[in-house]
Each structure stands twice: as structure tokens, then as C-alpha cells.
Structure 1
Amino acid sequence: MNKRPKLNIPKTRFEKLFDLVATLVFLAWIGYLLIVWGQLPDEVPAHYDSAGVVDRWGSKWELLLLPIISCLLTVFLAFLEKHPEWHNYLNLTETNIEFQFKNSRMLLNVIKNEALLFFAYISFQSIQVALGKASSLGFAFLPIYLGILFGSMAFFIVRSVKNK
């Protein structure tokens, strides 16, 4: 298939629900940031090492970077979600094209929303550290984050390969 058709495949209930949850978390994140802004010290955690310990402090204005990055990433991935005909496939045929498009779109949906949720968690934890209510992201954060992210990718890749 050199020229792939554009199929109109409605979003699944799962995709709609995950988008809704991520949107609500994003709005709560921005709301929380606005509420605590006046209480934040001038310096807040700006970077963490692989063990989740703060290894650089920066201006509280740096806390605005994660919501901005999340917003840009979400818009970009949502745009790509709408165009599964642009994605790369290993075994695309006329009989499995609808499944493959939906599977690829769901992969992007999951990655998009997981990234937003993880960025929100990092921002929340950074605020907690800045306010003296926590000391780090936690040692388990990085392995959990990577496990969920790569586990999700593996799940959808395996589904794609199995559906020849």
C-alpha cells in the first residue's frame, strides 16, 4: 500500500475516557499550581537524578515549563493520532488496515496521556519538595515510569505483530 486510505474510525470508549482523565488532571494541575504559587519559595527543584533526588534547583518560574511542554506534546500527538495513515507499519494489509490504524492510534493516545500524567506528577512532587512536604520524587519513580511507558509500547507492538 503505497498510498494509504484515510479511514474514519471513531475513537474507542477507552481513548475518550483516557483523554478526559488526562484533561481533568491537566486542569487540576494548573489550578493547583496557581493556588500554591504565592507559597512557593524563589527556588524549587528543577532537575532530578536517576534516584529521584533533586540535583539542581531553579527559579519557581521553571515550574511553568512542564505544563507548556505537556500542552505542546499533547497537541502534537493528538494531531498524529488523527492521521494513522502516516504511521509506519510492519504488516499492513487490506484485511487488517482498520485494526492496525486503530491500534497505532491507541498507542499514541496512551503515550500522550501517560506523558501528561507523569509530567503532572513530577510537577506536583516538585511543589511538595519546594514546600518541604517531600524530599524527592522517590527512588521507584524512574523504574515505574519506564516500566509503564515501555510496557505500553510493547503491548501495542505485540498486538500489531500478532494481527497479520
Structure 2
Amino acid sequence: MMPGALLACVLSSVILVVAGTPLALRRIPPNRLFGLRTQATLGDADLWYRANGELGRGLMVVGSVTAALALGLFLNGAAEHNLLLAWIVALSLGLAFLVLRSTRTIRRWRTVRGEDTGKAVAEVSSTAQDPRLVTMKRLEVLLDGISLLAWGGSVASLSARWSSIPGRVPVHFDASGNPDRWGDKGALLALVVVPLVIGLLIFLGRRLVSHGRYPEEVPPERLPLVHGSVRVVLAAVTTTVSVLFATLLIGAIQVAEGSRKTLPGWLLPAFLAILLLVVFVGLGRIRARLGAHKRP
């Protein structure tokens, strides 16, 4: 029987290949993705198809390589926790490379078309003059550090304790924190992969913030403050999600091992409240930045 860790790794890799196929074949129209309008972000159909094709091929390669890595380690007799750790590291590096490459492609395309020059000059001059941008950048780096620590701690904890985790683990909890559904321990892998994918997608969004379309009446010198506010909000969302999934992972392991019976009933409501607070406060600040030029 295929071990749970191997099955989870291979299935996750196959999902990447399946997700990348329509992108590589350029089947996704430039104005829709998961029901959301994307024309305002990239704005150029040629760029949309070019970026999608590159991203899709990359996803297919990463999925194929990580699946082959997991199978190779399994056939060579690697322990499950070593297999899991190697797969997660390979997946993280592959997806991070794809995100950086995609943003570089978009930036290069816009630079060639002369759309980034003015924005770059405005960003540099404003950064040198406005200490608020320096503060936001430091806050963004701090939030990224917390996110990486939470995710890295999850990977380290799962890898170190994999052999001692029982074969059946809680995969769902009710509103009171009681486990109401159990499954194979390979399901714990989702608590590491999901925040990784969410974090990388949000990171890609942060890199594209300066390419967004804003009201024409907003002065160019205020745009760097708007961009910085958006990036801080997105970084805070990533941190909240990373800490939540890390907490859920540790709690699920403890329940599976019998060291605790339930999760705290306040856990999910508290994280949901924090996430909503981050989003609404952040949107308020962004709106204030956009509307500041209208004040007398």
C-alpha cells in the first residue's frame, strides 16, 4: 500500500500539472480567472497570454519534478519524514522561482513598452523623501519574517514528528474545536502546502501592486504611499494565514497523539476576527491615501 505521505505528495504534484496545463495551452481568457476580472491588473492581452504560458509550463515542470522526486525517494527506501521534507523544500523552491520569474517577465514587458519608467522614478524619489514609506517597508519585512518563521516551524515540526504521528489524524473540527472527522495522516500535508501556495500567490500580487490602475485624479506622488499600504495589508494577511495554519497543524498533531482532546473553541473565531480587522483597517487606510488629495 502506498504510504500516506507519498500519496499526498504525488497527488499534490499532479494537481500542479493539471492546473498548469490550461495556462500553458493559453486557454484562459485575459479578462477572467476564477470568475474575477483580471484585465485591470495586467491590462494587455499579449502580456496575459505570455505570462500565463510561462507560468503554466513552470507549474507543469514543478509538478512533474516533485512527483518524480517523491517516487524516487520512496523507491530508494527513504523514511517518510525525509521524503516529506525533501518534497516540501523542492516545491517551495520551485514555486518561489516561478513567482519571481513571472513578476520579472511582467516588469520587463512593461519596461519595454515604456509603462514603468515614470512609476519607477516616482517610487524612488518618494522613498527618498517620505519616512512613512521606509516604515511601511520595515513593517512589510517584519511581517514576512513572521510568516516564514511560522511556515518553517510547521515544516520542521511535521518532519521531526512524522514517524511518531498515528496513522489516523483529525482532518476537521467543529465550531467548538472538537474533531468530527478523521483521516490519513498524509492530510496534514495540506496544512503546510496550502499556506505556502496562498503566501506565494499573495507575494505575486504584492509584486504587481505598482502595475494596478488607479483613479486618474490621484497625483503620481501619492501612488507610492498607496502601493506601500496595499503591500503591508497583503503581507499582514499572509502572516495571519501562516500563523493560523501553523497553529492548526500543531493542534491537530497534539490531538492525534492524545496530548490534548480538542482545539480551543476561541481559536478560529479569534483568527477570523483578526483577519477581518486587518482587511478592513487596511482598506480604510488605502482609501484614505487615495482620497487625501481631495481634502482642502
Residue identity over aligned pairs, in percent, reads 24
* CA distance, structure 2, for counterparts of residue 91 and residue 51 of structure 1: 49
Bigger mean CA offset, 39-48 vs 16-25: 16-25
In structure 2, distance between residues paired with 1:111 and 1:92 = 29
Q: From the CA coordinates, give the structure whose radius of gyration is larger.
A: 2
CA–CA distance in 1 between the matches of 2:277 and 2:225?
20
1:103 corresponds to: 229
Instruction: Provide the residue aligned with 2:277 in structure 1.
Output: 151
Q: 1:118 aligns with which of 222, 225, 244?
A: 244
1:137 aligns with 2:250: no
- Amino acid across the alignment from 2:244: F
> Given the two structures, how large is their TM-score scaled by the length of structure 1?
0.88
Name stretches of at least 5 consecutive residues in structure 1 with no aligned partner. none
Alignment of 1:5-154 (within 5 A): 6-7=119-120, 8=123, 12-87=137-212, 93-94=218-219, 95-154=221-280
**What does the per-residue CA deviation read over 1:28-64, in whole Å, with 9 as the maximum and x for residues that have no partner?**
2111111111111110010111222111101000001
- The question of whether the paired residues in 2 share the 8 Å contact of 1:107 and 1:153 is answered with yes
Runs of 4+ residues over 6 Å off in structure 1:
none
Provide the TM-score with structure 2 as the length reference. 0.51
Please give the per-residue CA displacement for 1:73-92, whole angstroms capped at 9, x wherever unaligned: 11111111111135576797
CA RMSD of superposed structures (Å): 2.4
- The SS at the match of 1:45 is strand
- Counterpart CA distance in 2 for 1:66 and 1:142 is 15
- Cα offset, 1:162, TM superposition: 2.3
Change (3 A) 1:92 1:24: farther
* Distance in 2, Cα, partners of 1:132 & 1:81: 41
Deviation string, structure 1 residues 66-111 (Cα, Å, up to 9, x no partner): 1111111111111111111355767971242111111111111111
Segment of structure 1 superposing worse, 10-19 or 153-162: 10-19
Deviates more, 1:145-154 or 1:10-19: 10-19
Q: Hey, which of these two has a bigger chunk of helix by percent?
A: 2
Over 3 Å counting, the alpha-carbon distance change for 1:91 and 1:158 in structure 2 is farther
Distance (whole Å) between structure 2 residues aligned to residue 45 and residue 63 of structure 1: 9
AA partner of residue 161 (structure 1): R
Contact in 2 for aligned 1:15/1:109 (Cα 8 Å): yes
1:161 CA displacement: 2.2
CA offsets, 1:123-160, max 9 Å, x none? 01000101111122211012101110000011111112
